[in-house]
Amino acid sequence: MKNNKKPIIAYGEYYTESIKKNNNGFLKNPPNDYDDTKEYIAYCLDLLERDANDNQEYFMEDKILCVRMEKEYEAKSYQPNSIVSNSNLEFIGGRRYTGLDSQDKRKLYFLRGTNRDLAALKETIVSGGKDNIKTWKRQLCTINTIDYLSPEEKIMGFDEKWDEGNVEIILHPIPNKENEEVDKLVDIAHLNKENVCIRTYENGPIFICAYLNKEQIVECSRFNPLRSIKPLPNIDEQVFRSSVQENAPKLPKDINKGSVNVGVFDGGVNENHELLKHYSENIDITSIEATTKSLSHGTAVCGAVLYGAGNQLTRDVVENPDVFVKSFRILPSEDTGDKLKDFQMYSAIDKIEDVVKNFKDTRIYNVSFGPHIEMLDDDLSRFTYTLDRLTYDVEEGEVNPLFCVAAGNENCRVMVPSDIVNGLCVGSYSLNYFNEKYRADYSCYGPGREGGKIKPDVLDFGGSRERQVVVVSATEGKTTTEIGTSIASPIVAGKIGSLMSASELISPHLGRTLIIHTADVDENDVTGTGFGYVKENIEDILCCEDNKVTVLYEGELTSKMSIKLPIFTPGIIDKGYRTKINWTICTIVNPNSKDTDSYTSNCIEDTFYPNDMVFNFTKKGQKGSTIKLNLLNPNDVETASKLLSMGYGRAEFPVSYPAKKSIKENDLRNHEYKWDTVVKKGVSMNAKSLVNPFLTLHAIGRDGHENDKIKFFVAVTIDMPKYDGSLYDTILEKYNLLSPIKVRNTNRVKWDSM
């Protein structure tokens, strides 16, 4: 049977069901003896008081402490909340710290309180006033030590050659004393307050940009409320230059503007270029005149959004692009101080915030610039946080914006702000002599931060020195060639715009989901290629085949909610052929700027159940008693009845697949990608094993965000090559609330059959 191309199917959410999952979590035995721990923690509090009096650090009235946890107590459920109950002490964030060796990463919590608060805590410990409270005893025994964050832990990312320059400072905010706090830091560093940039966010830290030398860095590191200080290098345009110029192709006879806007934050666009003047608009957000370099870079990026990887630009005549580019020229950005020319970064971030909030008609953006710095695990840049926050923080009913960000060209760990968790980090691939794809040798790699460990998310064609990308030149009537992730990223932004142009059902983040879901995974280089290589043609993203069907689901959950997503496999019972089921889940979550180890405040745990009639039966308190039974089998039904009469209980849910190998928080994060905003998984099974298969999605919140809404987007593909008939048609016949997406005519979608 010919596998004609057919539109993907939407509205899977009409068949979701709310379910209730019991929390079967357990508490481990505490790692330390209670009496020994009491004595040691009291000693730690004595040391803190002594250290506060030896003038080695600068303190405010409210002190910031570190409560360092024992190994394998990373989960939020182990946070020792008992030590702050009925007191003015407050946990204000967290990060990881290094234990016995460089690979031993453990959790620490930042604790804020006055001398009086700490004295009260010590009195409670010494007096034994809570010795009879089990939770108190258990939690106290999970603490390794209580101390101050050392200066060495605050200073991050500086190399030996660094002498002076711009830095980004992050302070723990002290309520109602933020101005006093900043004034004290300025005094310590011997700065003029007018020559620093200060930015604050509700319920977030204080971000400061300043120009410092080595001696000032050391002095600042002694300021107790300081969380971190790191270099903030120049804006890097992240692209290689080429001087090759060719004549540009002609425009089509009939000019049609794209129906979807794609915003580009960059150095502007040459609106007079024939290939751009009908399809782009330049909006000056900066008062500084464009430079040749900024305009060349911005024009190349805008052309990549419109024309993709440049194949069109080698033809005699181009087609009308599916999208329209709004070029927000924010580079070169204004200075924000005296000699502080590099404060342009903070000025550029300010402008991005203003544009996204005011231009509601543009919901996809590309960012192909950033500071020349790798992401740091235990720190956060204002740039990254801003993009994640702008994505999440929208009004009820408003479409969440999507940022596509270039991963960087330094062949190092992904660069700021491509470590975002609510957007797409895009790396580059090139082609070898046999036209096989491979990660370009300059393209930055992962892992990313907690909440988005798979980075880059995807790769698109960014070229190599041997095979460059054809882009629009800033010289009128010409094209040129470039390589870099600066070009790969806008290509992806343009593809998502084309997906939205093809169907009004596709929002930016559903487009993000489809881009990741259909990407071709490179199992040999997940660190470098992430979720894979983006499809070249959007028709390969939007189409199904008769027996390879993709269904879309989207919706909202609040924490502790669980829903059941059916996987549509009608008419396959007792069939012996192989079946592949793949699913991708993308979420938009509230970023937690206070805790880099818990940067995503929410997540969705997914579990796959292949057969809704296969259950485990277990006798409580009896190890090794679990028996798995298929209740479609009459003999198993009889066995189940006997087991129930013997005191066995049936599991609440069917048997999942594959079973989790570990329940340790660290393993769940690193292997199951718990707390990540993107999950891409798949199974291959005999069709006989699939009886009403389904996924469950369970929402979790932490750090006061337990009631936040989590938007989710899911794509599920069922691939049954030997299905007898058309699985596509059978699904639509049986589940009449499902519907193929309505596809508009676009230049990039050409169906074999509709």
Euclidean distance between CA atoms 556 and 554, whole angstroms: 7
The arithmetic mean of pLDDT across residues 434-446, rounded, is 96
Per-residue confidence band for 126, with pLDDT thresholds at 50, 70 and 90? very high
Q: What is the pLDDT of residue 709?
A: 86
Residue that wins the pLDDT comparison between 175 and 668: 175
Quick check: 575 pLDDT over 80? no
What are the CA-CA distances from residue 568 to residues 538, 556, 574 (Å)? 24, 21, 16
CB-based contact 490:407 (threshold 8 Å):
no
- Torsion angle in degrees (nearest 10) through CA of 727, 728, 732, 733: -40
Question: DSSP label at 619?
Answer: E
Q: Give the model confidence (pLDDT) of 287-304 as tens digits.
A: 889 989 999 999 999 999
Distance spanning both ends of the chain, measured CA to CA:
16
CA distance 545 to 726: 9
Strands (E), 408-547: 424-431, 437-439, 458-461, 469-472, 478-482, 543-544
Ordered DSSP codes for 575-615: --SEEEEEEEEEEE--B-TTBGGG-BSEEEEEEEESBTTEE
pLDDT band at 74 (very low <50, low <70, confident <90, very high): confident
pLDDT at 236: 59
User: Residue 310: is its pLDDT beyond 90?
Assistant: no
Q: List, for residues 270-286, the tens digit of each pLDDT value.
A: 999 999 999 999 999 99
Number of neighbouring beta carbons within 10 Å of residue 167: 26
Q: Decide if 211 contacts 345 (C-beta within 8 A).
A: no
Res 47 pLDDT > 50: yes
Q: What is the pTM of this model?
A: 0.93
In the predicted model, is pLDDT for residue 625 greater than 50?
yes
Q: pLDDT above 90 covers what percent of the chain?
A: 78
Question: Residues near 261 by Cβ (< 8 Å), separated by ≥ 6?
Answer: 323, 324, 325, 326, 361, 362, 363, 364, 497
What CA–CA distance (Å, rounded) separates 166 from 340? 8
- Residues whose CB is less than 8 angstroms from the CB of residue 486 and which lie 6 or more positions away in sequence, other chains included: 237, 238, 239, 297, 300, 301, 368, 369, 406, 409, 462
The per-residue pLDDT for 338 is: 45
In Å, how far are 138, 260, 270, 509 from 496, measured between CA atoms?
50, 10, 23, 9
| pLDDT value of position 647 | 92
H/E stretch holding 684: strand 678-686
CB 470 within 8 A of CB 720: no
Angle at 410 between CA 407 and CA 411, to 5 degrees: 85
Indicate if the alpha-carbon torsion angle 305, 308, 309, 313 is positive or negative.
negative
The mean pLDDT value for 211-233 works out to 96
Q: What is the mean pLDDT of residues 705-723?
A: 91
Task: Write the pLDDT tens digit of every residue in 548-561.
Answer: 999 999 999 987 78
pLDDT digits (tens, 9 = 90+) for 388-434: 999 999 999 999 999 999 999 999 999 999 999 999 999 999 999 99
Comparing 505-509, 574-578, 642-646, 674-678, which segment has the lowest mean pLDDT? 574-578
Residue 140: CB atoms within 10 Å: 21
CA distance 357 to 365: 13
For residue 417, say if its preceding peptide bond is cis, omega within 30 degrees of 0.
yes
In the prediction, which pLDDT does 253 show? 94
Q: Say what the pLDDT of residue 570 is.
A: 87
- Greatest mean pLDDT among 110-124, 226-240, 322-336 lies in 110-124
Digit-coded pLDDT (tens) for 455-499? 999 999 999 999 999 999 999 999 999 999 999 999 999 999 999
Query: What band does 92 get if pLDDT is binned at 50, 70 and 90?
Result: very high
As a whole number of angstroms, the distance between CA 353 and CA 144 comes to: 41
State residue 348's pLDDT score. Answer: 93
Please check the confidence at residue 750 and state whether its pLDDT lies above 80: no
pLDDT of residue 754: 37
The enclosing H or E element of 329 equals strand 323-329
- Could you say which DSSP state residue 419 is in? T
pLDDT given at position 380:
94
Phi, psi at 706, each rounded to 5°: -65, -20
**Confidence check: pLDDT of 503 > 90:** yes
Q: Which residue has the tokens 């305009």?
A: 295
Measured CA distances, 377 to 65, 96, 304, 413, 613 (Å): 20, 8, 32, 11, 44
| Residue range 187-216: mean pLDDT, rounded | 92
| Average pLDDT across the chain, whole number | 91
- Residue 491's CB is within 10 A of a number of other CB atoms, namely 26
Give SS3 for 515.
Answer: helix
For residue 56, what pLDDT is reported?
Answer: 83
CB-based contacts of 258: which residues, under 8 Å, 6+ apart?
279, 320, 321, 322, 323, 324, 497, 501
What are the CA-CA distances from residue 643 to residues 612, 613, 637 (Å)? 19, 16, 10
Q: How confident is the model at residue 136 (pLDDT cuts 50, 70, 90)?
A: very high
Residue 144's contacts (CB-CB under 8 Å, 6 or more residues apart) are 68, 69, 70, 99, 106
The residue that leads in pLDDT, 100 or 642, is 642
Average pLDDT over residues 225-236: 89
Strands 614-619 and 105-113: unpaired
Q: So what's the pLDDT on residue 713?
A: 98
Cα-to-chain-centroid distance, residue 534? 18
Question: Which residue is it, tokens 């129930």?
Answer: 644
Residue 641: pLDDT band with limits 50, 70, 90? very high
User: In the prediction, which pLDDT does 28 show?
Assistant: 67
CA distances from 233 to 230, 466, 674 (A): 10, 30, 33
Q: Give residue 243's pLDDT.
A: 65
Cα 76 to Cα 558: distance, rounded to the nearest angstrom: 18
Please, are residues 298 and 329 in contact by the beta-carbon 8 Å criterion?
yes
The predicted pLDDT at position 403 comes to 98
Cβ distance 57 to 598 under 8 Å? no
